[in-house]
Every structure is written in C-alpha cells, then in structure tokens.
C-alpha cells in the first residue's frame, strides 16, 4: 500500500515540517515572554508615578529601548500592532501600548513649562494666544519705529534737521514776481542726501565777494547785512509759505542785503530736502492773496520792486531788487539787469559742479 503524501491525514510528518513547527512554538513562547515583560514594566512605572504626589517621572522620563523581534511574517513581530477581538485597546508590548503608558520606548516625554506660581496640571485659558499676539504686536511696533526713524533721517546724518516755526502773519511783497524750476544742470544736487553738508556764512557771503557790480557794470552794491537762520520761518512771513518750508524739510535760510548806486538787492537761499520741494517753494512764493514772501533785512520793498525765484537742485534762490527811491517799472533795464545778477549764487553753483 502506498503512503498518503498529505500529513494531515494522520500520516507521519516529514523532518522539515517537524522542525518548522518547533520553531513556530519557540517564537510564540518568546513573544509571550516579551509581552509579559512589557506588561510588568508598564505596571511598575504606573505604580511609581502614582506613588509620587506631584505626578513627575522618577526616572527623568527615559525608558529602556525594547528590541523588536523580526519573524519573517508580516504582523507577527513584537512591535506589530495587535487588537483584541471586539475592542480597540492595544495589547501590551505593542507601540500603542507604549504610547498609552506615556511615551514611545527610548523617547523621553517632555512636559510643557509651567508659569510661575501655577498649580500642577493647571493652565490659564488663552495664555498662549495672548503671549503670541503680544509678541507680534511688539515686533510690528519695533518695525514701524525703525521705518519712521529711517524715513526721518533720510540717510543725511551730517545735515541739520528741519525745525520750521511759525512765521509772521504779514509783510511786504514785490510788485512783480517770476519763477523757474530746477534743471538737469543741477542734477548732482537734486537731493540733500547727496549734498548733506550745511551751508556756512563764509560760503554764501565770502569776504572777498562783499561787493557786486551795479547795473550794466556801473557802480557797485556792497553787502550791508547778512543772516543765516536754522529756523527757516525767521526768513519769511505768511502761513502758506511757512507750510511749504515745513513740508519741504527746510533746514537753513540765508539772507543778504546789498545796496549802492541808488539800488538795493535782497538775496535769499533756502536749503530744502529735494528739487521737488524747491520747485514747490518758488511757486508758492508767487501766489497772490497774502500767502507770504521773503522777509527782507532792513527797510526794503517800499515802492516798485521785482523779484524772481529759481530752484537750483534742492536749493531755492530768491532775488529781489528795487530802486532806493521806490521808482521804476517792469521795463526798467537797470532793475532787470540786477534781477538776473541776483540769481547768480556762486555758493550753489560751486556745489553743483563739485566732484563727488
């Protein structure tokens, strides 16, 4: 009779099959022992944690790393997740059991820091959001303050800051006035940031040039008075002109008064922030309605007079001429000649061509 090859029919098992069965039993026994060991560790740590009144970990939160056994079959190792029938509670020895016990094996559990004076386990509602938004608000305020400081400074640390006060409310104005904006010839000094050094009295009114040639080269006009103000409001009158100086960042106003040969001349130079501000100022000076004008030094502006405002880069240069007897008109050749000469500011022209 032939032997039945199927060992499940009661026949004798082959040697390889018997060895495989013994290996399976050995693996199952090791798995059972490992599960029992993990359960004992979990129970002992739970007992120690319950014994401490503050609930802190006695061992500093570190746990012994438990090696995982690889069996070659999917889901049968000690690290595999196993679920009891009829429920989702993790079996001891699995990763979920380790998480339930407090932490993954080998990975310390960290507790969040407590606020000073707070009871254990207590947490002030909304504390974290308040701290976050408070820090964000402080950061925004700091950035805004930094932007404001940089904007006010404008990169011109060596230049004086604008401090324009309140000018007088009334004064005298010329009979005629004209103006012209800055041109490309003054591009090198379009911004005060490129020409930060303040004007000096010697620069504007040098000792060697205290006299100017009279009309048509006849006679001469001598410097009688001069003034350099840090408050530009001291050199003008009128609310409108004062606002233009303030908005334009005026930091200096230089004025000089010349006379001789029956003629008088007043020259004023305003140090503005940029060419746009200088353009605006010379335009505002020509507006009627009592908006304001340059305040002359001494008794000047009585009778007929003519004036002209020129923007030269970030400088506004105003020339104002008249006959000392108050006579003349808009076609007076001598006054027109002096008016052209009044805009020849050597101090500003020298800065425009100075190598940088």
pLDDT tens string 173-227: 999 999 999 999 999 999 999 999 999 999 999 988 888 888 877 889 999 999 9
How many angstroms separate the first and last alpha carbons of the chain?
Answer: 118
| Closest C-alpha to 204, from 334, 71, 295, 315 | 315
Same domain for 188 and 85: no
Distance CA 284, CA 245 (A): 10
- pLDDT of 72 reads 42
- pLDDT of 33 reads 84
- Write the CA distances from 152 to 156, 242, 270, 272, integer angstroms: 9, 19, 19, 14
Q: What is the mean pLDDT of residues 134-138?
A: 54
Query: What residue has token string 């082959």?
Result: 14
- pLDDT of 311 reads 98
Number of domains in the chain: 2
Q: How confident is the prediction for the chain on average, in pLDDT?
A: 76
**Higher pLDDT among residues 333 and 72, named by residue:** 333
Determine, yes or no, domain membership for 212. Answer: yes
- pLDDT of 81 reads 43
Q: What is the mean pLDDT of residues 285-302?
A: 87
Instruction: Choose the final residue of a domain: 101, 118, 150.
Output: 101
Q: Within 13 Å, how many C-alpha atoms sit on residue 89's CB side?
A: 4
Please report which confidence band the pLDDT of residue 154 belongs to, taking 50, 70 and 90 as the band edges.
very low
Same domain for 242 and 97: no
Determine, yes or no, domain membership for 250. Answer: yes
Give the 3-state secondary structure of residue 112. Answer: coil
- pLDDT of 42 reads 85
What the block records as the tokens of 87 is 């429920």
Instruction: Choose the final residue of a domain: 46, 76, 101.
Output: 101
Q: Which residue range(s) make up the domain with 53?
A: 15-101
Q: What is the mean pLDDT of residues 271-289?
A: 93
Query: Where would I find the beta strands (DSSP E) of 145-189?
Result: 176-180
Distance CA 167, CA 229 (A): 13
């Amino acid at each position: 009779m032939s032997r039945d090859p199927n060992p499940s029919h009661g026949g004798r098992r082959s040697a390889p099959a018997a060895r495989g069965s013994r290996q399976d039993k050995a693996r199952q026994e090791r798995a059972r022992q490992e599960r029992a060991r993990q359960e004992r560790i979990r129970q002992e740590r739970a007992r120690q944690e319950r014994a401490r009144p503050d609930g802190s970990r006695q061992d500093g939160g570190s746990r012994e790393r438990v090696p995982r056994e690889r069996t070659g079959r999917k889901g049968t190792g000690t690290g595999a997740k196993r679920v009891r029938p009829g429920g989702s509670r993790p079996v001891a020895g699995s990763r979920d059991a380790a998480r339930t016990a407090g932490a993954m094996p080998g990975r310390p559990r960290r507790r969040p820091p407590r606020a000073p004076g707070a009871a254990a386990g207590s947490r002030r509602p909304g504390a974290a959001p308040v701290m976050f938004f408070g820090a964000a608000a402080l950061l925004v305020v700091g950035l805004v303050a930094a932007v404001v400081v940089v904007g006010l400074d404008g990169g011109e640390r060596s230049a004086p800051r604008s401090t324009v006060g309140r000018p007088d409310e009334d004064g005298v104005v010329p009979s005629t006035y004209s103006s012209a904006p800055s041109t490309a010839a003054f591009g090198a000094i379009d911004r005060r940031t490129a020409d930060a050094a303040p004007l000096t009295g010697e620069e504007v009114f040098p000792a060697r040039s205290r006299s100017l040639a009279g009309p048509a080269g006849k006679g001469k006009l001598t410097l009688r008075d001069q003034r350099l103000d840090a408050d530009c409001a001291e050199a003008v009158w009128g609310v409108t002109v004062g606002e233009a100086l303030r908005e334009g960042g005026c930091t200096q106003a230089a004025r000089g008064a010349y006379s001789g040969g029956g003629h008088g001349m007043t020259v004023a130079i305003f140090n503005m922030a940029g060419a746009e501000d200088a353009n605006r100022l010379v335009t505002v000076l020509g507006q009627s309605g009592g908006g304001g004008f340059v305040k002359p030094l001494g008794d000047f502006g009585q009778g007929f007079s003519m004036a002209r405002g020129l923007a030269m880069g970030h400088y506004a240069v105003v020339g104002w001429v008249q006959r000392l007897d108050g006579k003349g008109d808009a076609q007076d050749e001598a006054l027109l000649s002096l008016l052209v000469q009044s805009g020849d500011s050597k101090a500003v022209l020298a800065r425009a061509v100075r190598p940088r």
